[in-house]
Amino acid sequence: MIPSALADLTLLIHLAFIFFIVLGGLLVARWPRLLWAHIPAAVWGVLIELAGWTCPLTPLENWLRRRAGQRGYETSFVEHYLLPVIYPEALTRNVQFVLAALVLVANVALYAFVVRRYVRRTA
């Protein structure tokens, strides 16, 4: 029971972290001090995709699921949970590059907005 609940909690934390990576710039626009948490998170997210690494939360979730008597999964979190919803086919290296580019472009645009807003406010 406890490992299953912890696996589900890990899943939710992982999903929240992904949303923070992608959309955290919007939070920074409201709360500028989040910049110090968001930039490293966004860099980590881009590196995970570009380097083809596995986020440490994925093996943790799988380990907890196996401890709960459930099946883990062999693919990444994105491949297992998000791609079946977003894309009908398996994750390829090209899709990983596209995902990384989307995260990078979205965050650059959001930070351009934040910087422009800050400059206007201080001028």
pLDDT tens, 21-44? 988 888 888 888 999 999 999 999
What local confidence, expressed as pLDDT, does residue 43 receive? 92
What local confidence, expressed as pLDDT, does residue 78 receive? 67
What local confidence, expressed as pLDDT, does residue 117 receive? 83
On whether the CB atoms of residues 28 and 72 are closer than 8 A, the answer is no
What local confidence, expressed as pLDDT, does residue 50 receive? 85
What local confidence, expressed as pLDDT, does residue 111 receive? 84
- Alpha-carbon distance of 83 to 63, in angstroms, equals 21
Cα three-residue angle 83-86-92, rounded to 5 degrees: 45
On whether the CB atoms of residues 35 and 28 are closer than 8 A, the answer is yes
Helices (H), the chain: 2-30, 35-51, 57-67, 77, 83-86, 93-122
What local confidence, expressed as pLDDT, does residue 121 receive? 83
Q: Is the pTM of this model over 0.75?
A: no
- Alpha-carbon distance of 59 to 32, in angstroms, equals 32
| Per-residue pLDDT tens over the stretch 39-92 | 999 999 989 888 888 889 888 988 998 898 888 777 766 666 765 665 556 567
| Annotated domain spans of the chain | 2-122
